[in-house]
Amino acid sequence: MRLPYRKSILVMVPLAMALLVPLTGAQEHAYLGAKSCKKCHLKQYKSWEQTAMAKTFEVLKPGERAEEKKAAGLDPEKDYSTDASCVKCHVTGYGKEGGFVDIETTPTLAGVGCEMCHGAGGTYVQDQYMSLKNKEFKKADIVAVGMVEAVSQEQCTNCHNSESPFVGDDYVFDFEANKETGTHEKFPLKYAH
């Protein structure tokens, strides 16, 4: 008997097996927004909230950073908040299922939030994984269901690249120099995971 196949981006898996194995890529989970992380990570949230990453959607609005926009050849009075080529790097999860749609529909995903680095939280913040009900979860368990354990250069260079009008064609993002800055302070966690 031939089993039907379920197509995936990376592999073809027999349907019977696909029903038994949870999907683990972050893009397959719902985006929740940084406020959902705040419940357990208040210090990190407050630190992130002060960063340019948290406030980056504001840059797209008319009149914001006018001098920088002029220098980059952009119209400082134009509203770029609906321009897909700009929005993708100023919000969380744009173009992905459950990600930013527009400021009216998904205001909690404006700005570059936690899930851009740590993966969409729709699965790993469920009660059986990481939650207020399960404070002693194991990190390996939440990584297995979608949390990104370590930020990669590729995650950063999806936006920090020469396509930005604010840098030149020869721009190269220095991942090593920047991976610990601009996101949030790193505080020790209350529980070992």
For residues 89-102, give the mean pLDDT: 93
**Alpha carbon 150 to chain centroid distance?**
13
Q: 64 versus 141: which is more confidently predicted?
A: 64
In the predicted model, what is the mean pLDDT of residues 79-92? 96
CATH 3.30.830.10 fits 25-178, yes or no: no
Which pLDDT score is estimated for 54? 93
Flag whether pLDDT at 67 surpasses 80.
yes
Model pTM?
0.77
Please give the biggest Cα pair distance in the chain.
67
- The confidence band for 28, taking pLDDT boundaries of 50, 70 and 90, is low
Q: Is the pLDDT of residue 104 over 90?
A: yes
Confidence of residue 4 (pLDDT cuts 50, 70, 90): very low
Mean pLDDT of 134-154: 85
Number of alpha carbons in the 13 Å side-chain half-sphere of residue 33: 10
The pLDDT tens digits of the residues spanning 157-175 come to 999 999 999 998 899 988 8
Q: Is the pLDDT of residue 108 over 50?
A: yes
Selection from 11-15, 18-22, 183-187 with the highest mean pLDDT: 183-187
Domain ranges of the chain: 25-178
Reported confidence tier of residue 135, pLDDT bands at 50, 70, 90: confident
Output 37 or 6, whichever has higher pLDDT.
Answer: 37
Q: Look at residue 191 in the predicted model and tell me its pLDDT.
A: 65
Task: Specify burial of residue 153 (Cβ count, 10 A radius: 0-12, 13-18, 19+).
Answer: middle
| Residues 31/120, Cβ–Cβ less than 8 Å | yes
